[in-house]
Amino acid sequence: MASSSNYHIPALAAMAGIAIAASGYALSSSSAESRRRRKRIRSKILKERDAKYITGLINTGNSCFINSVLQALATLASLRSYLAERVDERGDELDTLELSSNDYVLQSVAYALYTTIEQLNKPLSRPRSMAPTDLLHALERKTNGTINREQQDAQELFQIISHALSSEEEIQYREEPSSLLDAGTLRKMTGEHDSGCASPVALDNLETASVSSVGTMGSMWSSFSVSSVGGHLRHRPRRPRNPFTGLSATKISCMKCGYTAPIRHNTFDNISLTIPQTLNCTLQNCIDTYTKVDMLTDFRCRKCMLIATLEALEQEKGKMAGYSDEEKAEHAGKIQVLKDALRYNVEAPLPGIPLVNPTTTSCTTKQTMFANPPKSLCFHLSRSVYHPSGIVQKNHCTVRFPEYLDMAPYTTNGFLNTADPTQSLSSPPVPISPQARTSRTSLVYLRNMAAGNRFVHGRDGLNVALGSSKDNSDLVQNALPSLSLPAVRSIPYRLNAVIVHYGGHESGHFITYRRKKLPTGHDVRKPFTNDDHHSPVPETSTFWRCSDDAIDEVDIDTVLSSEAYMLFYERDV
């Protein structure tokens, strides 16, 4: 027995040695493969970082306006993400992109634009160019015509592309309710299997269906709620939103009667700013002009019209001596309807009562602000000057624009001013209305004051403490409600692309300055070194100057000194 054990000891030792050697070989192989993988990744990152070129676009004849818009769109990360969700049937649930096999998507403008701008974002070591024929064909199919290269400019083409994306989005994500008479839907509702038996879960689903009438078979099927089989219906993918679509708010107020019409909200995909006829100005000056309170003289105030109509009916009432009782009652009913409208709802419809215009035209104010700025903000600097003689010239005013822009001063906040027609739409209400609801903090303050406590102001005027009149050492911190207004949160944007037009109003050439980014959409950063103990920092802002198929690198100062025609900012989150 002992000899048998001694015989197996060398074999076990040999097997252990082989196992150790194999594990060591596996570890070394894994380590070597990991090193090679890191080297490949590092080489790829350096190649993308140091790439001197991107794909240019061939000018096929007066197509510089097309090329400039595509190069500008290619640098917007929010647009690339939006298009990726549009062309991937699985939405954003998975990390890897799988192009759709849907014929509608493959023929869409979104698909053609996605494939085009992805080609434009590939870094190159040598110049290369292509023609955006796929996108042009998709646009021509969408517009049922050809892109007119003699009359259109960059801003018009941008509007065509944005409108096409939004209209396709409506069709692609339109909900199509499943028919409850479909055999497949009914089978899923009842859980019917090949054996013809319904599962308990299916019976529960059937029992929870909302049935309002079961008198007949037809009424029963017509009363089923679609939500009753929600767990078995086709999954609805999350609908992406056009990143250029924003929401504006417009206020119109009457200076005569003080009435403010309901705030009207409208969507937009670009903002056209009027450039003053001066030597120079700033982008902020143009936005101030766009959002300032304007005076109108041709707007008809509804409340003034109701008052004028009521006065006219009151005057007619004294001249109805020879009218019948029914006519007098009808006339009195109209007067009462107008009084109720003036008291409760000025905008209420008044059928059968023609409104009378006031004898004097009322002066009104109008202001437009941004209610929900988009992810990608496009400004069009309108440089056309129309003379009375009919001549149209280009305004060469120098517009200074920043690399970083805060849209908070031009965006509505929590305050909506509808009381003072001369004030801004979002000016805070001062003084506070006495009908305002008292907050819990204010009630605590009033209760302490009623108990005989006093308040002590801090050095900054806001840190207030309450103390007993007997013992000042025991202070109650922050018992007084803050009288400061809520801080307005900034809405930062960063410049990503600029379209420049050279020449006059009738002819010229479009080019684009676009921010240099990695193919992933991230900023170009300095590589790690052995002395770095923190994350790499972004390099100085570098842009590509894209003039059709000619691509060159420029610095941010060159971009900011250009004569901009269109500006593309993106939310800097």
User: 515: domain CATH number?
Assistant: 3.90.70.10
Q: What is the pLDDT of residue 211?
A: 36
Give the DSSP per-residue string, 322-389.
TS-HHHHHHHHHHHHHHHHHHHT-TTS--TT------SSPPPEEEEEEEEE--SEEEEEEE-EEE-TT
253 is a domain residue = yes
Do 371 and 496 lie in one domain? The reply is no
d(Cα 408, Cα 389) in Å, to the nearest integer?
Answer: 41
- Among 410, 427, 443, the domain boundary falls at 410
- Among 393, 410, 427, the domain boundary falls at 410
186 is a domain residue = no
Do 383 and 500 lie in one domain? The reply is no
d(Cα 525, Cα 537) in Å, to the nearest integer?
Answer: 6
Do 155 and 133 lie in one domain? The reply is yes
**27 HSE (CA, 13 A, CB side):** 6
Do 55 and 110 lie in one domain? The reply is yes
- Residues in CB range of 241: below 8 A, 6 or more apart: 82, 169
Q: What is the pLDDT of residue 8?
A: 59
Q: Answer whether 347's CB lies under 8 Å from 260's CB.
A: no
d(Cα 338, Cα 218) in Å, to the nearest integer?
Answer: 47
Do 254 and 143 lie in one domain? The reply is no
Q: What is the pLDDT of residue 202?
A: 47
Q: What is the pLDDT of residue 45?
A: 54
Looking at the structure of the chain, the number of domains it has is 3
d(Cα 89, Cα 107) in Å, to the nearest integer?
Answer: 14
Q: Answer whether 266's CB lies under 8 Å from 369's CB.
A: no
Q: What is the pLDDT of residue 382?
A: 92
Do 400 and 498 lie in one domain? The reply is no
d(Cα 224, Cα 189) in Å, to the nearest integer?
Answer: 11
Do 270 and 403 lie in one domain? The reply is yes
> Both tokens of residue 395?
């305004």
What are the start-end ranges of the H helices in 372-513? 440-450
426 is a domain residue = no
Q: What is the pLDDT of residue 212?
A: 37
What are the start-end ranges of the H helices in 148-229? 154-172, 183-190, 200-207, 217-222
CA distances for 348 relative to 10, 261, 262, 307, 351, angstroms: 102, 12, 12, 14, 10
Q: Answer whether 499's CB lies under 8 Å from 566's CB.
A: yes
Indicate the burial class of 250 (C-beta count within 10 angstroms; 0-12, 13-18, 19 or more): middle
51 is a domain residue = yes
Amino acid at 127: P
Do 518 and 405 lie in one domain? The reply is no
Q: Is the dihedral of CA 313, 315, 318, 322 positive or negative?
A: negative
444 is a domain residue = no
Amino acid at 250: T
Q: How many CB atoms lie within 10 A of CB 535?
A: 7
Phi-psi region of 452 (alpha: psi -120 to 50; beta: other; left: phi over 0): left
Q: How many CB atoms lie within 10 A of CB 39?
A: 10
265 is a domain residue = yes
Q: Answer whether 247's CB lies under 8 Å from 265's CB.
A: yes
82 is a domain residue = yes
- Among 355, 384, 410, the domain boundary falls at 410
For the beta sheet containing 264-268, the strands, ordered from the edge strand earlier in sequence to the opposite edge, are 264-268, 246-254, 364-372, 294-296
| H or E element that contains 22 | helix 2-49
Q: What is the pLDDT of residue 458?
A: 39
Do 288 and 311 lie in one domain? The reply is no
CA distances for 171 relative to 174, 258, 554, angstroms: 5, 43, 41
Amino acid at 477: Q
Do 259 and 392 lie in one domain? The reply is yes
Q: Which residues pair with 382 in a beta bridge?
A: 274
Q: What is the pLDDT of residue 419?
A: 77
Do 265 and 404 lie in one domain? The reply is yes
- Its domain, for residue 278, covers 246-297+367-410
Weakly modelled stretches of the chain, pLDDT under 70: 1-30, 36-51, 89-101, 146, 149-151, 175-237, 427-488, 521, 524-540, 573
255 is a domain residue = yes
Do 313 and 267 lie in one domain? The reply is no
